[in-house]
């Protein structure tokens, strides 16, 4: 779908918010791409992010999906607004075995109050991407006073 | 509901798995309680775990909910089995503002293959617990070869 | 939890809305109980409502869960408002084999805009209730102009 | 994605199951298309299927999404297997105002035990399709004894 941002400043707005999330820095996540209604986040493998088998932890996978969905929605919101996740649902499709996690989110619907996004998380191993998780999320625009 | 574990060893089995998740150690999460079909996990506040407003990040909240659900289900599984999350859904109900996150999960149904759990996440501030998120999850038992 | 309705008229408001849903009449569903933040709906078995094995169809089970959640939330909304489902998630826990479906929904959180509910669906067979499905839903209050 | 069915008989298998669901006949739903990993179901408007405003009821919308997802997954399952919905999540994106509901489901992952699908529901009005709901579902293959 083709979306028009409500502010020319949409990329900077998303970057500023992403950069102020200390958790992103803590795990080593990087904001790679913002387009109107789209967001991509990367996260290199790191021993600290693993579950019992040494794979990416499901909490990390959901963190990336949730954040990508939030910023895809935020890219279409007004300048003087912030975004909050209302809820999301995530299916874990294959184990997080690889060197890099890639979350890509697309807006399905952007409304005055609520937005709906889908985010897919891929895991890259030996240069090949594999679908690792699929999610669907609802976001809300909070107008700043 | 009253559940009977399939192995006397169920507490140790859960502890061993939890302790082998490096991500739990990295964020500072602690396994507080395991009963048959129940799990409670605590996580003290830490600057590294925050989103743009300095509150607990939604990814952290979902990590705790997912892990509590997984181990509640695992407590009822066979000795020679491991547990994987199939999917989960989480509603963020109030902002994660406080000193401690507490996730509590209960099994709704334990089957031969699939289990269903509900997990609630509370945030403790000035000694008062507040519901922060509510989730529902599906888990699968993987028999070890 | 103890909720206070915003209008004395909350039971009548819910009944009026339920009675104007032709689909409820078509399938034979009955509104059995409304309390502040709670709703119960019953549906007797009927050959027309079945899937391939002759059990209650999952679509019927989700219809009941969705409606119970919607009216539990609506019971706490303002007089001059209507309710819409934003989304819901449903786990099918045991087959819908029995004479009567019973959906019970409780509000977890009621906010100015959004509400979150959990609804459980039970199937009654030979006088015994069994958990058939568990759901979690987000509802939105729409102010009438 | 390109899927290969495990049985030549996959279309007939889906048709037989669909035709044995009395609820599909009761509401007037029609199976329009089956391809490997894909299913499309149509449902013409009918007064009996409405909520309080005279639009398609959310329960009907979720019924169509759930069934399309189930049969998309079933098209890739073995001959001697049946399919059950484990769970699904549905976002209601715009009101069900129109003459025809169209549900289209695609398989994201087909495994030995579990499958994951996405189903979108469109509403057709004056010849124009509009996205009405988006869902994500988990299905399980039950081997016949």
pLDDT of residue D144: 77
Give D-chain residues touching B114 at CB under 8 angstroms: 86, 140
pLDDT of C47-101, one tens digit each?
999 999 999 999 999 999 999 999 999 999 998 899 999 999 999 999 999 999 9
Give A-chain residues touching B50 at CB under 8 angstroms: 21-23
State the DSSP H helix or E strand holding residue D58, giving kind and residue range, or none if neither.
Answer: helix D58-74
pLDDT of residue B2: 86
pLDDT of residue C84: 95
Q: Hey, are the CB atoms on B89 and C94 less than 8 Å from each other?
A: no
Which one, of D113, D42, D30, D106, lies nearest residue D75 by Cα? D106
SS3 of residue A47 by DSSP: helix
Read off the DSSP letter of residue D94.
S
* pLDDT digits (tens), chain D, 145 positions: 689 999 999 999 999 999 999 999 999 999 999 999 999 999 999 999 999 999 999 999 999 999 999 999 999 999 889 999 999 999 999 999 999 999 999 999 999 999 999 999 999 999 999 999 999 999 999 987 7
* pLDDT digits (tens), chain B, 145 positions: 689 999 999 999 999 999 999 999 999 999 999 999 999 999 999 999 999 999 999 999 999 999 999 999 999 999 889 999 999 999 999 999 999 999 999 999 999 999 999 999 999 999 999 999 999 999 999 987 7
CA dist., res. A137 & res. A73, Å (int): 10
Cβ-Cβ contacts under 8 Å for C91 (sequence gap 6 or more): B108, B116, B136, B138, C133, C134, C135, D86, D87
User: With contact defined as beta carbons under 8 Å apart, do B114 and B107 qualify?
Assistant: no
pLDDT of C100-133, one tens digit each?
999 999 999 999 999 999 999 999 999 999 999 9
Domain boundary assignment for chain D = 10-143
Q: A53: distance to nearest CA of chain B, Å?
A: 8
pLDDT beyond 90 at C43: yes
CA dist., res. D113 & res. D83, Å (int): 10
Neighbouring chains of D at 3+ CB pairs within 8 Å?
A: A, B, C
Q: C120: distance to nearest CA of chain D, Å?
A: 13
Per-residue exposure over D27-56, b if at least 16 CB sit within 10 Å of its own CB, e if not? bebebeebebbbbbbbbebeeebbbbeebb
Reported ipTM: the value is 0.96
- Compute how many other C-beta atoms are within 10 angstroms of the C-beta atom of residue B109: 18
Report the CATH number of the C10-143 domain: 3.10.129.10
CB proximity A91 to D under 8 Å: yes
Read off the DSSP letter of residue B117.
E
Q: C135: distance to nearest CA of chain A, Å?
A: 13
CB proximity C17 to D under 8 Å: yes
CB proximity A108 to C under 8 Å: no
CB proximity B94 to C under 8 Å: yes
Q: Is D144 exposed, middle or buried (0-12, 13-18, 19+ CB in 10 A)?
A: exposed
Q: Hey, are the CB atoms on C131 and B118 less than 8 Å from each other?
A: no
């Amino acid at each position: 779908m083709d979306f028009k941002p409500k502010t020319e400043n949409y990329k900077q707005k998303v970057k500023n918010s992403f950069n102020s999330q200390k958790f992103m820095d803590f795990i080593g996540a990087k904001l790679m791409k913002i387009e109107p209604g789209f967001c991509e986040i990367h996260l290199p493998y790191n021993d600290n992010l693993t579950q019992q088998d040494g794979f990416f932890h499901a909490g990390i996978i959901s963190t990336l999906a949730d954040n990508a969905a939030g910023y895809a929605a935020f890219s279409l919101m007004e300048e003087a607004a912030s975004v909050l996740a209302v809820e999301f649902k995530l299916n874990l499709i294959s184990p997080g075995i690889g060197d890099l996690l890639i979350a890509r989110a697309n807006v399905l619907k952007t409304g005055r109050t609520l937005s709906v996004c889908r985010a897919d998380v891929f895991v890259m191993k030996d240069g090949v991407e594999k679908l690792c998780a699929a999610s669907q999320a609802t976001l809300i625009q909070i107008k700043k006073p």
